[in-house]
Amino acid sequence: MAGRTIAVTGAASGLGKALRARLEADGARVIGVDLHSCEISADLSSPGGRAAAIAGVLRACDGVLDGLVPCAGVGPQHPPDRIIAVNYFGAVATVVGLIDAVASSSASPAVVMISSNSTTMTPGAYAELAEACRSLDDEPRALAIAADAHPAVAYAASKVGVGRFVRRSSLPFGGRGVRINSVAPGAFDTPLLQQGLDDPETKDLIEAIPIPLGRRGKPDDIAAVVSWLLSDGARYVHGANLFVDGGTDALLSPDRFP
């Protein structure tokens, strides 16, 4: 990673903070985006905030990025329309707005997005709301549908949208020399998960999630995989979604392949 410039949204806490620390330890320069405590302060729930984030990153990197990780996200403790706005539309708009800068890199450029193993555990995750997360132009319709959705379904639907975006982007991005992949974390110890554990509605559900490895993940467990996907060691991994969940998805859906 030495000498590479990587933009990370959501870099002030949780996975984004752990990823930043790991990348910087490996010699990368990280441009962080978050609501506060980063080089660029921006709220990715709105078009104006996304535009500010993109403009700030482009100024900071002089138009060339070696990697991008749109890591900012909110959980089911937030209103469902905000979940969709940040997790899907905020993430995708960031990638679309910065893809020219990533494609300008000569250092094996890569994008890594954050999906979730909730996509395969949540009834309704692939229903109408996920279908509305297809294009940036569909945001008003998706937010209107989200208003009537359960927050947990909205969260899973937003991550279905992210995974589909990754797969749909494999041809156009690959044609520009940019790899794009996603990781699907399970339950891991972050402020976002702690919000769920502090909520009586979701606490029991979270604690009931089976994890074959016997423990919840740590942020660096995910950061290690994201860092690898950004590296030249993953130079032929493209359009993939890697579950990083201690085996939960495999346990619950042992016969589903791929």
Q: Biggest alpha carbon distance in the chain?
A: 49
Catalytic residue among 88, 126, 155, 236: 155
Known catalytic residue at 155: yes
In whole angstroms, give the CA distance from residue 46 to residue 53: 11
Task: State the catalytic residues.
Answer: 155
